[in-house]
């Protein structure tokens, strides 16, 4: 039986969750509750529960601090945030701390049952993890920042750290660790049942990695190499960098060995703000453009799986906040995101596809009533790409139709030619940009797909009877 505690400063909510949720059905037992983060943290230290459900805003210690400190006190505990504070900043911080799930009040019991089912599956997977012959003491010491313990364990394994004796953290995933030659001096520990951490003398790093190259790594194999350290104070940061680098297979789609860097990458915050703005304004074109622009940043290593996790979960959170129930779900962390999607390109493609319902109100009723399946596919494609260069031949090739038949079929089903339809979409989007941005008229036209300023102005006036400048002045 898995154990759980519930933390909320509103007692009636605690009692409601305890009494209204069918805990036993999913293999859980509530072993305690608390009304503030301080008492809850002590309970976590004493009881080491499998699951903690916590509010964010509480006296003495808030939920974010509780998650951060609780992860140190009990690294294997799963945390779920239950909060009525639908604030983007709160959600982003909670995600950074590695929450298992995030539910907004008022929530439905079925939603908590669904979360418990996933949590139960996750905990069962951890129980099935193979038993290793090495100790987990080092990883526990790193997570708790216990430098005394770290130094002692390294000395016990004849791997003391100082300026003339550096060690390098390496994280391996996707390959059975028994394939490694343990004659090389190293200290290993499990990160989870799919990922293994190693501390290797820096001068032996190349020999260690050479073994993995000789294994003929599978398509799921990936390794991350941290930067060498001469003080255990830097061990946690270097191990985290190696752990993120090991997910290089997710960012690039290619198996291999990836070197971490301690240099600061481009801030993800600007991308998150742009996503927030696009979704608030139901701007599908901007949303797709933002996601597409991140592909190269992932492929060249500027963005890591950490950034992918934030992008995905932030977008899903914004959809859920507005009541849009997509087929997507929140993930516990990087590992679950990686298992579900495999690589960043699949994740981006699925995000664009799965969140399309958020933008359907931008499609007119006449388009939604198009009966012909192929024409409907073409219309959906045009709504997502009308700012790009579009040709009849290109559409014909993409949808396996002859150009003449394509034009005839589209006009019959939609009532407009493809050129007229695309022009109207561009002008409608131009009106939106003129109202909601400070772009110049030239920038608006270019953003909407018009490369000629005068042509844009002429088409705009044809649809609106006034020029773009006059239109903006009227708003």
pLDDT average, residue stretch 244-258: 87
Contacts by residues 87-91 (CB-CB < 8 Å, ≥ 24 positions apart): 88/276, 88/314, 88/317, 88/318, 90/56, 90/64, 91/313, 91/314, 91/317
> How large is the average pLDDT for residues 216-241?
83
Please write the tens of the pLDDT for every residue from 430-461.
998 898 888 899 999 998 989 888 999 999 99
Which pLDDT does position 468 carry in this prediction? 93
Looking at residue 184, its pLDDT comes to 58
How much of the chain is in helix, strand and coil states, percent to nearest 5?
Answer: 55, 10, 30
Q: Between 322 and 380, where is the model more confident? A: 380
Q: What is the mean pLDDT of residues 328-332?
A: 65
Q: Which two tokens stand for residue 30?
A: 């509530």
* Dist. CA 192–CA 132, nearest whole Å: 11
pLDDT (0 to 100) of residue 264: 46
Can you say how many angstroms the Cα of residue 468 is from the centroid of all Cα atoms in its chain? 39
Compute the average pLDDT of residues 160-188. 72
Q: In angstroms, what CA-CA distances link 153 with 98, 136, 137, 251?
A: 27, 11, 8, 34
CA-to-CA distance for 167 and 205, rounded, in angstroms?
A: 9
Read off the pLDDT of residues 38-70 as tens digits, 9 standing for 90 and up. Answer: 999 999 988 888 899 988 888 888 888 888 888
Residue with the bigger pLDDT between 325 and 464: it is 464
**What whole-number distance in Å separates Cα of residue 414 and Cα of residue 364?**
11
Residue 22 confidence (pLDDT) above 70? yes
pLDDT at 135: 59
- pLDDT class for 225, splitting at 50, 70, 90? very high
Provide the pLDDT for residue 357.
Answer: 58
**What is the reported pLDDT for 325?**
53
The mean per-residue pLDDT over the stretch 203-229 comes to 76
pTM: 0.55
Confidence label for 427 from pLDDT (cuts 50, 70 and 90): very high
pLDDT at 410: 92
Q: Which residues pair with 169 in a beta bridge?
A: 199
For residue 466, the model assigns a pLDDT of: 93
Mean per-residue pLDDT, 157-164 = 80
pLDDT of amino acid 74: 81
Cis peptide before 106, with omega less than 30 degrees from 0? Answer: yes
pLDDT exceeds 80 at position 221: no
**How confident is the model over 193-205, as a mean pLDDT?**
84
Average pLDDT, the chain: 82
Could you give the percent of the chain with pLDDT greater than 70? 83
What integer pLDDT is reported at residue 358 of this predicted model? 62
Coil vs helix vs strand at 132: coil
Question: How many of the other CB atoms lie within 10 Å of CB of 318?
Answer: 21
The three-state secondary structure class of 346 is: helix
d(CA 295, CA 343): 11
The predicted structure's pLDDT at residue 328:
55
Say which range, 73-87, 349-363, 455-469, has the weakest mean pLDDT: 349-363
For residue range 262-304, list pLDDT tens digits in order.
554 567 888 998 888 888 777 878 888 899 889 989 988 888 8
Write out the two tokens for 201: 């003398």
Q: For position 130, what pLDDT does the model report?
A: 40
Compute φ and ψ for 182, nearest 5 degrees.
-85, 10
Q: Check residues 352 and 32 and name the one with the higher pLDDT.
A: 32
Distance CA 474, CA 126 (A): 62
> For the ranges 215-219, 244-248, 313-317, which has the lowest average pLDDT?
215-219
Q: Which own/partner pairs from 308-312 qualify as long-range (CB within 8 Å, at least 24 positions apart)?
A: 308/250, 308/251, 308/337, 308/344, 308/347, 309/95, 309/333, 309/334, 309/337, 310/92, 310/95, 310/96, 310/268, 310/272, 311/268, 311/271, 311/272, 311/275, 312/337, 312/347, 312/351
């Amino acid at each position: 039986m898995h154990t759980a505690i519930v933390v909320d400063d509103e007692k009636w909510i605690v009692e409601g969750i305890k009494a209204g949720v069918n805990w036993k059905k999913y293999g859980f037992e509530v072993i305690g509750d608390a009304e503030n983060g301080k008492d809850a943290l002590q309970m976590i230290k004493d009881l080491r529960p499998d699951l903690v459900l916590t509010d964010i805003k509480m006296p003495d210690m808030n939920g974010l601090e509780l998650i951060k400190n609780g992860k140190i006190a009990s690294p294997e505990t799963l945390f779920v945030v239950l909060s009525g504070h639908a604030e983007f900043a709160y959600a982003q911080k909670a995600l950074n701390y590695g929450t298992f799930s995030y539910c907004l009040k008022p929530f439905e019991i079925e939603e908590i049952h669904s979360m418990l089912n996933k949590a139960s599956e996750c905990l069962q997977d951890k129980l099935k993890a193979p038993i290793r012959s090495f100790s987990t003491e080092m990883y526990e010491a790193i997570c708790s920042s216990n430098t005394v313990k770290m130094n002692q364990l390294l000395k016990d394994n004849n791997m003391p750290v100082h300026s003339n004796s550096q060690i390098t953290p390496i994280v391996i995933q996707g390959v059975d660790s028994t394939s490694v030659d343990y004659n090389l001096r190293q200290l290993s520990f499990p990160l989870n049942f799919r990922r293994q951490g190693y501390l290797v003398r820096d001068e032996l790093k190349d020999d260690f990695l050479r073994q993995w190259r000789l294994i003929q790594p599978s398509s799921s194999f990936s390794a991350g190499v941290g930067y060498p350290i001469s003080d255990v104070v830097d061990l946690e940061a270097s191990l985290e960098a190696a752990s993120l680098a090991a997910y290089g297979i997710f960012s690039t789609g290619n198996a291999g060995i990836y070197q971490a860097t301690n240099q600061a990458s481009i801030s993800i915050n600007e991308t998150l703000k742009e996503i927030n703005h696009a979704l608030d304004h139901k701007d599908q074109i901007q949303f797709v453009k933002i996601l597409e622009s991140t592909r190269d940043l992932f492929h060249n290593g500027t963005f890591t799986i950490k950034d992918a996790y934030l992008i995905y979960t932030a977008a899903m959170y914004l959809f859920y906040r507005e009541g849009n129930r997509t087929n997507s779900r929140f993930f516990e962390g990087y590992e679950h995101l990686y298992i579900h999607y495999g690589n960043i390109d699949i994740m981006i493609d699925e995000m664009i596809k799965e969140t399309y319902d958020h933008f359907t109100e931008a499609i007119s009723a006449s388009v939604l009533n198009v009966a012909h399946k192929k024409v409907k596919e073409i219309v959906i494609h045009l709504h997502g790409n009308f700012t790009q260069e579009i040709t009849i031949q290109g559409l014909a090739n993409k949808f396996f139709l002859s150009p003449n038949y394509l034009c005839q079929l589209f006009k019959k089903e939609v009532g407009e030619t493809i050129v007229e339809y695309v022009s109207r979409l561009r002008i409608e989007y131009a009106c939106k940009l003129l109202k909601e941005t400070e772009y110049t008229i030239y920038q608006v036209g270019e953003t909407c797909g018009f490369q000629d300023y005068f042509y844009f102005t002429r088409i705009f006036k044809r649809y609106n009877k006034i020029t773009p400048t006059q239109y903006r002045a009227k708003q």
